[in-house]
Amino acid sequence: MGMTMTQKILAAHAGLDTVTAGQLIEATLDLALANDITAPVAIKEMEKAGGHVLYKDKVALVMDHFTPNKDIKAACQVKCTRAFALREGVEHYFDVGEMGIEHALLPEQGLVGAGDCVIGADSHTCTYGALGAFSTGVGSTDLAAAMMTGKAWFKVPAALRFVLRGKLPPYVTGKDLILHIIGMIGVDGALYKSMEFTGEGVAALSMDDRFTVCNMAIEAGAKNGIFPVDDVTRAYLAGRFRRPVCAFEADEDAVYEATYEIDLSALLPTVAFPHLPENTKTAWDPVPIDQAVIGSCTNGRISDMRQAAEVLKGRKVAKNVRCIVIPATQEVYLQAMKEGLLEIFVKAGAAVSTPTCGPCLGGHMGILADHERCVSTTNRNFVGRMGHTTSEIYLASPYTAAASAVLGRLATAQEVLK
């Protein structure tokens, strides 16, 4: 019986010739990740166990959720993590001024790559599957054990195959693709399964599109999402990733629980209405909004900034709308500055923030009041996710979020750019 891409990576890291769905394995890790919310919990567990970081170069600590510190508690969280990183000699510690949103920062810095086995105490760690890696989120206690041993236990996931055909039409992005898929299979449609993307349409997706798709695999309940390693992947890794590129390909007789065929050219701008990512629509009545957020680990990369700027250039954010733009990393911020994108945002009446996850989890930099509505490029629209429990979140692409900010209601880029 053949293996999927994910199963081959797990087998290699477990030192096994083959693995099957449901099998329990212990795998060697290439990287373990935590942030300013999850790291302190892991640190306390390590201290209870009397343990220390085994591999100083295989741990990354990124201060991105409540940073720059929003209050005393957040400051203490970061202080705890900062002291731990210094004490343990952790090589990859990122703080204010050099940090970024973790799932944009680590690929950018070349710390994750093709063939890797990665865990993170953050559910959107599945982002790195875009690079042909197995990556998944874990709890903070699992992370503590991983930092001490360099290993983690996994149950090998079964897989779903998504065969992509054609290419995306104008103003339709990877965000629309993954929202379409979640709307199609539901928030539990890939529960503890690997979402594996194949087909000639893969080549038409940019690396940023792939990051976005894998980032939201968890919103379908998946253990991980993964793309094959191709020329687009290798071009992104060149000059960044310092280890050999390991491209794992699924066997022809690999077993999938289901196969879905998707014609990319038929997709439309898609929005997930409150209060689940599966509640997707491609047509809607005018919905007035109070805020637009463009950023996050899902859509804060330079292509996302360019898409938003294309819509906002020469236009103004509606008077009753707050538009917050958050470049995901310092590198993205600088590139956006060089291209004049930040000037476009400011002239349009948007606020530009330092890299932070803040609004996505209702942390800071954009918390919603009662009954307010926000169109956001983030990844979750649960009740109370971005603030008050009566507020509403509409998940969308940067094109749609920027267009909605201009018109003051949920809108597509075509409506603004026509």
Domain 5-264 has CATH 3.30.1330.20: no
Task: Tell the CATH superfamily of the 271-417 domain.
Answer: Aconitase, domain 3 (3.30.499.10)
List the domain boundaries for the chain: 5-264, 271-417
Distance CA 412, CA 400 (A): 5
Query: Would you say residue 156 has pLDDT above 90?
Result: yes
Taking residues 271-285, report their average pLDDT.
95
Q: What is the pLDDT of residue 198?
A: 97
Query: Would you say residue 1 has pLDDT above 80?
Result: no
Encode burial over 15-42: b for 16+ CB neighbours within 10 A, e otherwise.
Answer: eeeebebeeebebebbbbbbbbbbbbbb
Tens of pLDDT along 160-173?
999 999 999 999 99
Q: Judging by DSSP bridges, how do beta strands 291-294 and 373-376 pair with one another?
A: parallel
Q: Indicate the DSSP class of residue 168.
A: P
Bridge partners of 155, per DSSP, are 24
Tens of pLDDT along 298-340?
999 999 999 999 999 999 999 999 999 999 999 999 999 999 9
Joined together, the tokens standing for residue 2 give 């053949």
Tens of pLDDT along 44-88?
999 999 999 999 999 999 999 998 999 999 999 999 999 999 999
Please, how many CA atoms are within 13 Å of residue 109, restricted to the half-sphere of its CB?
A: 20
* The domains spanning 5-264 and 271-417 adopt the same CATH topology: yes
Query: Would you say residue 209 has pLDDT above 90?
Result: yes
Distance CA 397, CA 412 (A): 9
Distance CA 177, CA 168 (A): 9
The SS3 call for residue 300 is coil
Distance CA 43, CA 81 (A): 8
Q: Would you place residue 99 in the very low, low, confident or very high pLDDT band (cuts 50, 70, 90)?
A: confident
Query: Would you say residue 399 has pLDDT above 90?
Result: yes
Q: Judging by DSSP bridges, how do beta strands 193-198 and 134-137 pair with one another?
A: unpaired
The SS3 call for residue 79 is helix
Tens of pLDDT along 11-32?
999 999 999 999 999 999 999 9
Q: What is the pLDDT of residue 166?
A: 97
